[in-house]
A and B are shown apart, each in its own frame.
Chain A
């Protein structure tokens, strides 16, 4: 790694909407994608991250800084992750899971996908279709039959205009 011991190296990351961010190399290399670029010596100038927008990248960097400031204590890291994700809405979480996937950050990927699953858990079929942008390709009869098959799973679902 380029860093000499004692001197913290700073990297500059560029989002796909041309925002620039400074981040300590030690925090940024939580991303395997960035770490590989650093190891390959491509980190001299600005690191372009073509699949992440500025808003999401800012959030990811907050996470990188926060989590790397915590010493090796899995309990504390977990509670940081929980708190970090607690106020995020579905759209933000979806952007973050894409960013975590692109940046190859397995800990963030795990945490965000688990959070999305937690958000979805009690939601209706209609909610899922809207949020994931899925077209209902069932005929009304087919849909009724599929719902009837697992009728008990519709108990306790959050009310929605389209259930």
Chain B
């Protein structure tokens, strides 16, 4: 295969023999470090790699919220391969993609009086860029990477409150929380990265009003769960893919549950089985055919610092990317 220098217009990708579609297929199978190195091959490869929005077989891992209890810097959440790391005492944050080792620093501009501060991350589907949401008990504010600026302090919807003790879920490029109305009915709400507003999602039709509900992300979908007919049964529903698809399908019912639903948390699938945190320090694998739990002994030392699901990606906030070129 001789290297015949085919000259084409600058914007085209050119290779001697392999057409662009095939080169893209090959590149999509490379690990992220090789891809970033091959940006130096040519301008057209640089463009092609920057445009690759997916990495095949990305590693899906869990990142502990914090290495040691009491440390100041904590990974607080992750969205599409980008982590938000907080340094609470200084109101400083770092958005970082550990796969590409790129990062951006930001500072929360408003004062807050106590430690009850919570976070969300979003990816705006209109431009693919990231947004950071900081929530205090009284207001919230959104940082946009595109504008490199914060919104004003924004008010929550009236009638109810965010349940911060039920962990947020980041999926579909948005962050979902549980909202409890003044009449104690719980609902799911999310922040819409297109207009920075909170929006509600209807829960599945056959869920009794007033039931305690929980959210989690499984297989890249938003899932909701609650007790079934009694407290030995947990029913799990799965929402349609994407921000605007709010249809629910029943995923499975976990039976023979002994743990409280407050510590019960599905983590991920393992073939047809499901890995569930059953107690604060106990992780088990549930077999839906046998309806049994197998406790994973090697996980006994886990503290309840929370495990943040993380998927490798090449995404990064755009204004940093432009600055560096």
Within the complex, what minimum Cβ distance (angstroms) separates A144 from chain B?
A: 9
Verify B3–A130 contact, CB threshold 8 A: yes
Q: Decide: A153 near B36, CB < 8 A? Known: A109-B25, A113-B26, A136-B42.
A: yes
Verify B37–A133 contact, CB threshold 8 A: no
Verify B17–A133 contact, CB threshold 8 A: yes
Q: Does B221 count as interface, using CB distance less than 8 angstroms?
A: no
Closest to A114 in B: B29
Q: Does B322 count as interface, using CB distance less than 8 angstroms?
A: no
Q: Decide: A133 near B4, CB < 8 A? Known: A114-B29, A125-B38.
A: yes
Q: Does B31 count as interface, using CB distance less than 8 angstroms?
A: yes
B33-74 near A? 1/0 per residue, CB < 8 Å: 110111111111110000000000000000000000000000
Q: Which residues of B contact A84 (CB under 8 A)?
A: none
Q: What's the tally of chain B residues with a CB closer than 8 Å to chain A?
A: 39
If over half of A's interface residues share one DSSP class (helix, strand or loop), that class is named, otherwise mixed; here it is helix
Verify B26–A146 contact, CB threshold 8 A: no
User: Which one, A29-37, A68-76, A116-124, is touching chain B?
Assistant: A116-124
Verify A138–B40 contact, CB threshold 8 A: yes
Verify A143–B40 contact, CB threshold 8 A: yes
Q: Which residues of B contact A125 (CB under 8 A)?
A: 37-38, 40-41
Verify B10–A137 contact, CB threshold 8 A: yes
Q: Does A104 count as interface, using CB distance less than 8 angstroms?
A: no
Within the complex, what minimum Cβ distance (angstroms) separates B20 from chain A?
A: 11
Verify B1–A149 contact, CB threshold 8 A: no
Within the complex, what minimum Cβ distance (angstroms) separates A152 from chain B?
A: 6
Within the complex, what minimum Cβ distance (angstroms) separates B57 from chain A?
A: 9
Q: Does B22 count as interface, using CB distance less than 8 angstroms?
A: yes
Bound-state CA distance A128–B39 (Å) is 11
Q: Does A94 count as interface, using CB distance less than 8 angstroms?
A: yes
In chain A, positions 78-113 with a C-beta closer than 8 Å to chain B are 91, 94-95, 97-98, 101, 109, 113
Verify B5–A135 contact, CB threshold 8 A: yes
Within the complex, what minimum Cβ distance (angstroms) separates B17 from chain A?
A: 6
Partner of A133 from the list B16, B27, B43 (CB cut-off 8 Å) is B16
Verify A120–B34 contact, CB threshold 8 A: yes
Verify A137–B37 contact, CB threshold 8 A: no
Within the complex, what minimum Cβ distance (angstroms) separates A155 from chain B?
A: 9
Closest to B13 in A: A134
Bound-state CA distance A121–B16 (Å) is 20
Verify B10–A121 contact, CB threshold 8 A: no
Q: Which residues of B contact A114 (CB under 8 A)?
A: 29
Verify B18–A132 contact, CB threshold 8 A: yes
Bound-state CA distance A113–B22 (Å) is 8
Q: Decide: A116 near B39, CB < 8 A? Known: A130-B3, A134-B15.
A: no
Q: Does B324 count as interface, using CB distance less than 8 angstroms?
A: yes
In chain A, positions 123-163 with a C-beta closer than 8 Å to chain B are 125, 128-138, 142-143, 145-147, 149-150, 152-154, 157
Verify B39–A146 contact, CB threshold 8 A: yes
Within the complex, what minimum Cβ distance (angstroms) separates B41 from chain A?
A: 5
Verify B36–A150 contact, CB threshold 8 A: yes
Q: Which residues of A contact B45 (CB under 8 A)?
A: 134
Verify B18–A138 contact, CB threshold 8 A: no
Within the complex, what minimum Cβ distance (angstroms) separates A124 from chain B?
A: 8
A residues engaging B (CB < 8 A)? 91, 94-95, 97-98, 101, 109, 113-114, 116-117, 120-122, 125, 128-138, 142-143, 145-147, 149-150, 152-154, 157
Other than the given A117-B34, A150-B39, 19 more pairs (CB < 8 A) read A113-B25, A113-B26, A114-B29, A116-B26, A117-B27, A120-B26, A129-B3, A132-B41, A133-B5, A134-B3, A134-B16, A134-B42, A136-B41, A138-B42, A142-B43, A145-B325, A150-B36, A150-B40, A154-B37
Can you report 27 residue pairs joining A to B where beta carbons are below 8 Å apart?
A91-B1, A94-B17, A97-B22, A101-B22, A113-B25, A114-B29, A117-B26, A121-B31, A121-B34, A128-B41, A129-B41, A129-B42, A132-B16, A133-B16, A134-B15, A134-B42, A134-B44, A135-B42, A138-B42, A145-B325, A146-B39, A147-B40, A149-B39, A150-B37, A150-B100, A150-B101, A152-B33
